[in-house]
């Protein structure tokens, strides 16, 4: 099964975020591969699909901007954005973005430094990542769980109410922890 979603495959460490739904508009509804977005496409999707997708893109951009602003290695030099809004508009899920938003289930055959993030406990459970089906999944609290061997984090849905700024900082810390773990 091919990966399906937005973004591009990354040569180095890639952030792969998995979401249960797709933007309800062509061509995303019937996409069968990974498609890099173009300049202005994030705004176009948000404009045509409403507040829901605008929030997802905003939270994703805040998370990545915070992550890469705090990193001194890996992909820290891939953006010159001064604000997360610039990152969202100029880089998020485009050709130079070290990230993907995937509509297909996780495949763990990429780089060992790829980070896999599943949005929402319910979607994670549908995919078989819950306490009952995995002994290696560590429930950290009511919001986050981690499966270190697979570089997998389960976090709240990318929405301001569920993944607040404080929780975005926590997610950044978890990603940094996985990048620093011994191989």
On the question of pLDDT at 9 being above 90, the answer is no
pLDDT at 76: 43
How far does the chain reach from its first CA to its final CA, in angstroms?
27
What's the chain's Rg over C-alpha atoms?
Answer: 15
pLDDT at 181: 65
Greatest C-alpha distance within the chain = 44
What is the pLDDT of the chain when averaged over all its residues? 88
Query: In the numeric block, which tokens belong to residue 40?
Result: 């202005």
On the question of pLDDT at 183 being above 70, the answer is no
Q: Classify strands 99-102 and 115-119 as parallel, antiparallel or unpaired.
A: unpaired
pLDDT at 68: 87
On the question of pLDDT at 130 being above 90, the answer is no
On the question of pLDDT at 74 being above 50, the answer is no
Give percent of the chain above pLDDT 70. Answer: 90
Question: How do residues 26-66 score in pLDDT, each as one tens digit?
Answer: 999 999 999 999 999 999 999 999 899 999 999 999 999 99
Burial class (CB in 10 A: 0-12, 13-18, 19+), 119: buried
Mean of pLDDT values over 117-140: 88
Tell me the whole-structure pTM to 2 decimals. 0.91
pLDDT tier at 98, thresholds 50, 70, 90: confident
pLDDT at 70: 75
């Amino acid at each position: 099964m091919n990966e399906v979603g937005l973004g591009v495959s990354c040569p180095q460490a890639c952030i792969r975020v998995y979401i249960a739904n797709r933007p309800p508009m062509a061509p995303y509804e019937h996409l069968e591969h990974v498609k890099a977005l173009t300049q202005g496409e994030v705004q176009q999707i948000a404009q045509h699909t409403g507040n829901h997708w605008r929030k997802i893109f905003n939270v994703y951009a805040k998370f990545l901007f915070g992550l890469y602003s705090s990193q001194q290695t890996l992909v820290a030099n891939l953006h010159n954005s001064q604000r997360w809004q610039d990152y969202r508009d100029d880089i998020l899920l485009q050709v130079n973005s070290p990230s993907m938003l995937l509509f297909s289930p996780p495949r763990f055959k990429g780089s060992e430094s790829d980070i896999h993030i599943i949005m929402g406990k319910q979607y994670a459970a549908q995919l078989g990542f819950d306490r009952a089906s995995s002994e290696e999944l560590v429930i950290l609290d009511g919001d986050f769980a981690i499966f270190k061997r697979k570089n997998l984090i389960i976090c709240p849905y990318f929405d301001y109410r569920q993944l607040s700024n404080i929780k975005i900082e926590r997610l950044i810390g978890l990603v940094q922890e996985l990048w620093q773990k011994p191989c």
